[in-house]
Amino acid sequence: MGDLEIHRPEGVRLQKVLAAAGVGSRRKCEVLIERGLVKVDGEVVNQLGVRVDPDAVKIEVKGKRIVVDDNAVTVVLNKPRGVVSTMSDPQGRPALDQFVREYDQRLFHVGRLDAETTGVLLLTNDGELANRLAHPTHGVPKVYVAKVEGQAAKGLCTRLRAGVDLEDGPVRVSDCAILDVSKGHSLVKVELHEGRNRIVRRMLDKVGHPVVDLVRTDFGPISLGTLQPGEVRRLSREEVGALMNVAGL
């Protein structure tokens, strides 16, 4: 073990750390190690006697980050309409604190949604994860479905992909689909890699389709699923690991 920098004689056996993180049984974790499918701080570990400090290393299984910190809490909220994206509001408007009272940890919201927008909002007590996910350099993809005024023409998505000039710089979508066109309204799905203030509303307004209703359905690998407005769900270790991957952690 001497040639492995990550080995800590006083640490915890790697297969025990993996099993505790929900990867599988101790035996299954031993097989993963023996097959060279586990990395610690970027280094392949294929020996069963390795001990590590789980709080000080980055562990990956089949290229995916695993989470070993039980004190780390990340949740997804389906933010209802009319709720502001602050933990408490001095003006007395409905805020986010009411949805996470069951958690002892102090949670922070990752980015924000404007009051009238509903959908996926992440809250976590992992400050580094929150900062990375919110930072524009990582360009975490976000998907929105917008009900807009007017009948969307076929060329709308082409225009949005090409880019729209706004007062604070151009914005372009990475993906777009017209889901439905009915009398006077259309349903448009867009994916963006940035999160400037009211960016989706301003972009669609600029191309002549003011937003009537807006929901964020996905934030990176986390989807709304069947979560109802006001409902909160704690993310699994696998989901948090997937978020860490897109955040470059």
Torsion of CA 183, 189, 192, 198, to 10 degrees: 40
Angle at 114 between CA 86 and CA 125, to 5 degrees: 35
Phi, psi (rounded to 5 degrees) for 130: -60, -45
Angle at 144 between CA 137 and CA 197, to 5 degrees: 55
Q: Using CA atoms, how far apart are residues 3 and 190, in angstroms rounded to an integer?
A: 49
Q: Using CA atoms, how far apart are residues 95 and 111, in angstroms rounded to an integer?
A: 14
What own/partner pairs with CB < 8 Å and gap ≥ 24 does 152-161 have?
A: 152/178, 152/181, 152/186, 152/188, 152/209, 154/178, 156/188, 156/207, 156/209, 159/207, 160/190, 160/203, 160/207
Q: Using CA atoms, how far apart are residues 57 and 8, in angstroms rounded to an integer?
A: 11
Q: Using CA atoms, how far apart are residues 19 and 21, in angstroms rounded to an integer?
A: 5
Active site residue 114: yes
Residue from 53, 69, 97, 114 carrying the catalytic annotation: 114
* Residue positions annotated with a catalytic role: 114
